[in-house]
Structure 1
Amino acid sequence: IGRQPNNANASVVLMDLKKGIYTAKVTGKNSATGGSIVAINQVVTTTEKPHLRNISTNGALQSNGMTAGFILTDPGRYAILAEGANGLDPILELTGQFVENGQIQNLPTQTSDDWNPAIGTELQQIIGRQPNAATAGALILDLKPGIYNAKITGKNGATGSGIIAVTQTRPATP
């Protein structure tokens, strides 16, 4: 990854992964709470180009929300879904930066409070189901390679549990 962990408390796992579904779970030592980062990096270059179809995170939403950052190396059509648990009404906000014509461009902020049923058919094709509730936030966007942040907050400052999922509908064409 090109650097050492930023402190002695960081955990690192180096392993070969085959195609499949994986879960990384982070818990605080002695039940401590706070923020954490899970990063997945391709260390060894193979002849096969890697393709990450979906990445998601779930966790506790405090009054300041929860953010999932992701880096896209391929352009494509992506679904970004935010769902709440136990009646939490999530609001989804997507921001990002990408390079176009040698210049850094900012993605205009995209938001979704309650997902739009007009995208229901495409959303069903991408993620294989409808959102769990009408209050879920969902966006379907053509995104360029870049650095993005999806943030979920509870409506009216509500707290609870939430999920942010990013799914690519199709690999980029060469």
Structure 2
Amino acid sequence: MNKTNTPPLLEWQGLRILPGLNAVTGDEGSGKTRLLRELSQSTANALWLDLRLPEHDEHTPEQVWTELQANCPRWSAELQTDLTDALQLQDHLGKQLFMLSTGSRRKVALVGLLTSGASITCLDQPYAALDLPSVRVIKAFLSDMADHPARAWVVADYEADPDLPWASMIPL
């Protein structure tokens, strides 16, 4: 699966982050979340969010996205609208996050991450707590982005989704 002849978008702490989809896999406690968080903190134009959005309980989805957009110059308002519709978040836009289910909170964070335009987008267990139609939306988005020449999606989970075309696999 590794495209060893593809130049990396980033070499960081011995890891090669390639354009397209990069799977970070490992058991509970293996350091997947820590890797994503540290990667985003030490790399310009990389973005990771705790998908639970614990610091945003009193905010609405639109307030969360407005705050993110202020730091993301390549934010796509069109993609934000498309994903909001596809993930069926329209009925929740006026609600504060503490009123939302875990799955809906995670959808709010995923919309923010996927529309950010970040060169490196870090996704931590993106399917967790999502309904099947939403999982399909996220899979389709990632599949569509797999051949992007200048952006990378680093996806951490217990296993790499066998339905996605991974540019690299990073086992922990």
TM-score (norm 1): 0.29
Structure number having the greater helix percentage: 2
Higher RCO by CA contacts (8 Å cutoff, separation 6 or greater): 2
Structure number having the greater strand percentage: 1
Q: Give the greater-gyration-radius structure (CA).
A: 1
